[in-house]
Amino acid sequence: MGTSSSKTFYPSKYNISAVENEFALLNRQGINVEPGKNSYNISKPKPAGVKGVVYLDTNADKKYTTGEEAPDAHLKLTYTRLDKTQKPVADITTDSTGAYTFTSLMPGEYTLNATKLNSSTGNLDYVTEQTVTLTANKTSWVNISLALAPVSASGFTTYLGENIKDITVTFTPDKTVKNNTAKQGSATSDAIGRYSVKLTPGAYNVSVKKTEGGTIVYTYSEKLSVVLGQGTISYNVYLIKESITVNGTATYNAVGKANMTILFQRDLRIANNTATSKSVMTDKDGRYTIELTPGAYNVSIDQMVNESGINVTYSATTQITLIAGDAPQVLNMVLTRVEEL
């Protein structure tokens, strides 16, 4: 290596690493330092190389076949330093046969990043990243199969112009499309109703089924085509409201009553009633909100509480009929109070 240095060590076992220009000549080699045995020579390894063909696996057999070559693909080679960060080494473009070659490389771990641009959009059509470990005095042959570059899809989950949070949007490959390259994906909208997902080009069925306590609240079902080289796509999800929001207050003497359980029970007297029984508890101010399936309900409160050592029952009854597409309904409950003897 042309230089030498020395340092005093206590007898023990040590790990030694050697680095030149950010390339590791030696990585954590264990050595014993003993009296009379206090030298260790490091030889610079002979160079390595890597070459191969970048190709499009058009017949989906997971190997390179003559005729699948990808000319004008861009390759970026990076070296993995001892601290696991990447050091750029070289950039090349494949020739007319899809071939590439990197020579005179320090042995070690490298990453090959292969991309191919869409000539019309300037976005990526294909991208692949592959790790390879190169050995001293050897040229490794590595063929690289290009994968479809993902497209970034984003938008809002909305209902009647209002962005709705916590909506999971599922992108499922459309099985009716032959040789569909789409892959399953999903994303959940954030606090402002925005979602973002990376999708492989192909044909998708897009769906939403948001439930709350077993009640279907929002749905959505449409088709989406994601095109090679599209790069980004804006896609808003316009939700359909299946349930009806009911809210109100349970009061006694015009004051909201907390922790009252309100039962919404399916009215069995109504033929073909689509209602589904549910319950909800009032908050500290006596307010409540619940999502209900359309139908006819008997609504009731019948709750015993202990107030200053006296058992008291609060009660109220009413009815409500909900029709699909209804706007949010307000249903206030006025309580009666009976002291138990």
Task: For residue 55, give every residue at least 6 positions away whose Cβ sits within 8 Å of its Cβ, in sequence order, or none.
Answer: 64, 65, 68, 69, 70, 98, 143, 144, 145, 146
pLDDT of residue 116: 96
Give pLDDT tens digits for 69-90.
999 999 999 999 988 999 999 9
208 contact partners, CB below 8 Å, separation of at least 6: 157, 167, 168, 169, 170, 218, 219, 220, 221, 237, 239
- State how far the Cα of 335 lies from the Cα of 299, in Å rounded to an integer: 12
> Token pair 């000319």 is at which residue?
71
Please give the model's pTM, rounded to 2 decimal places. 0.81
Q: What is the mean pLDDT of residues 296-312?
A: 95
Instruction: Evaluate the CA torsion angle 216, 221, 227, 230 in order and state its sign.
Output: negative
**Average pLDDT estimate for 275-286:** 97
- Residue 2: the pLDDT is 46
Query: 32 forms bridges with which residues in the sheet?
Result: 13
In this structure, the number of other CB atoms found within 10 A of the CB of residue 235 comes to 18
- What's the CA gap between 89 and 109, in Å, rounded? 12
**CA separation, residue 141 to residues 19, 69, 72, 102, 194 (Å):** 26, 15, 19, 11, 45
Can you give the pLDDT at residue 154?
Answer: 98
Q: How far apart are CA 301 and CA 81, in angstroms?
A: 69
Q: Which residues pair with 305 in a beta bridge?
A: 312
pLDDT at 19: 76
- What pLDDT is attached to residue 226? 98
pLDDT bucket at 20, cuts 50 / 70 / 90? confident
Mention every residue, 6+ apart, whose C-beta is less than 8 A from residue 99. Answer: 51, 52, 53, 54, 69
**What's the burial of 219, exposed, middle or buried (CB within 10 Å: 0-12/13-18/19+)?**
middle
pLDDT tens digits along 136-156? 999 999 999 999 999 999 999
pLDDT tens for 33-66 read 667 666 667 778 899 999 999 999 999 899 999 9
**What confidence tier does 1 reach under pLDDT thresholds 50, 70, 90?**
very low
**Residue 32, pLDDT score:** 67
5 has pLDDT over 60: no
259-268 mean pLDDT: 98
- What the chain holds in terms of domains, given with CATH numbers, is 1-44 (no CATH), 48-148 (2.60.40.1120), 155-241 (2.60.40), 244-339 (2.60.40.1120)
| SS3 assignment, position 145 | strand
DSSP state of 43: P
Question: What is the percentage of the chain residues whose pLDDT exceeds 90?
Answer: 84
> DSSP of 206-249, one letter per residue?
EEEEEEETTEEEEEEEEEEEE-TT--EEE--EE-EE-SEEEEEE
The pairing of strands 333-334 and 244-252 is parallel
For position 43, what pLDDT does the model report? 77
Rounded Cα–Cα distance for residues 126 and 74 (Å): 10
pLDDT at residue 160 above 90? yes
Q: What's 34's DSSP letter? A: B
